[in-house]
Amino acid sequence: MIKIIGVKEKCIEQIESLEDLKPEKYNIVWIDCYDPRDEELYKISKFLGISISDLQAGLDDQEIPRIEEEENYYLIIYRTPLLEEYSTSILGIFIKDNIVLTIHPEKIKSIERIYNIVITRNPNVFKSIGFFIYVILNEVTRSYSRILVSLEDELEELEDKIISGFDQKIIEKILHLRKTLVYFHKALIANRDVLVLLKRKYLPIIGKEDKENFEDLYYDTLQLIDMSATYREVLTSMMDISLSLENIKMNQIVKILTMVTTIFAIPMWITGIFGMNFEYMPLISSPYGFWLSFTFMLISIIFFIYVFKKMRWI
């Protein structure tokens, strides 16, 4: 799907198709292209004069974030989070003259949010190309932040659950969170490398005042990397702790089993002995025989309960 916006002196126009677009009429043109069909890709390629294989860098989920200065255009590859799936996807930003092309294989909420802001409200985000790129990257970075903050709540919750009780669902949850943090960490570190470049050696399209914005963004990303590292450590602690807790519980269960088996071993043996059918057995015809054996069994039971209490098993 392709959406096109042209900005002409603070006035925003939505353009239906690439065929209608005359870039020279506008200050800035934004083309957003999400999961394009082959023909759409072909059209864009033809319109911008960028080869399809180059464009596909923005659609290949395996690409790593970076900046490329080509002869006639700039390319920024950035990693964005996917809100619903706690995973990450790729976003390619091509800048050629006054045209900014954002291309991505997945629907990205941050892009949608900017699109809505642009249409419904002020066209301030189009102050300059540099600023517009900052707005995009900023929005993406803020969506990491949102997810990580919500992760913190989940972590707190998990911790309570681990101590109160531990089951397979919690483990699946931990597995899930850990994978998310692994992917986020990688994405953020790669994004940071992009921002380092943007804040240092400014591309010609990035003005001095934008550079400061990118510096802020850089620090925000450092924060997020820090957060994700801390969360992973906390998660590892949790796994260790939960393993220990499982072991403690196991010990207690096996203690119960051992106690029950031990306490009843001698009484059962006694009932076995007097259950034998020998003709000549001691006590068997004594009127006190039953009570004697019963008392002995009780003593044995009480003795072992006492022993286990002494050993602090109960």
Residue closer to its own copies (CB basis): 17 or 277: 277
Nearest distance in Å: CB 1, its own copies: 26
Taking Cα atoms as reference points, which of 153, 161, 142, 145 lies closest to residue 177? Answer: 153
Which residues are bridge partners to 2 per DSSP?
Answer: 33
Q: Which helix (H) or strand (E) holds 14?
A: strand 11-15
Structure tokens at 306: 């006492």
Task: Give min distance, CB of 277 to its own copies, in A.
Answer: 6
Closest CB to its own copies among residues 11, 260 = 260
The encoded tokens of residue 149 equal 């903050």
Closest C-alpha among 252, 204, 260 to residue 72: 204
Write out the two tokens for 36.
């394009």
Closest approach, Cβ 152 to its own copies, in A, equals 9
The C-alpha atoms of residue 205 and residue 28 are separated, in whole angstroms, by 12
Residue 66: CB minimum distance to its own copies, A: 7
State in angstroms the smallest separation of the CB of 166 from its own copies: 7
- Residue 286 to residue 195: CA distance in whole angstroms: 96
Least distance in angstroms from the C-beta of 45 to its own copies: 18
| Residue 234 C-beta: closest distance to its own copies, Å | 6
172/14 Cα distance (integer angstroms): 45
Q: Which is nearer to its own copies, 4 or 217 (CB)?
A: 217
The amino acid at 289 = G
Of residues 35 and 69, the one with the C-beta less far from its own copies = 69
Cβ proximity to its own copies, 149 vs 314, nearer residue? 149
- Which long-range contacts link 197-205 to residues 24+ away (Cβ below 8 Å)? 197/67, 198/67, 198/137, 202/130, 203/67, 203/69, 203/74, 203/130, 205/74, 205/95, 205/129, 205/130, 205/133
Residue with tokens 């109960």: 314
Helix, strand, or coil here: 165?
coil
Please say which residue, 8 or 232, places its beta carbon nearer to its own copies.
232
Whose Cβ is closer to its own copies: residue 132's or residue 144's?
A: 144
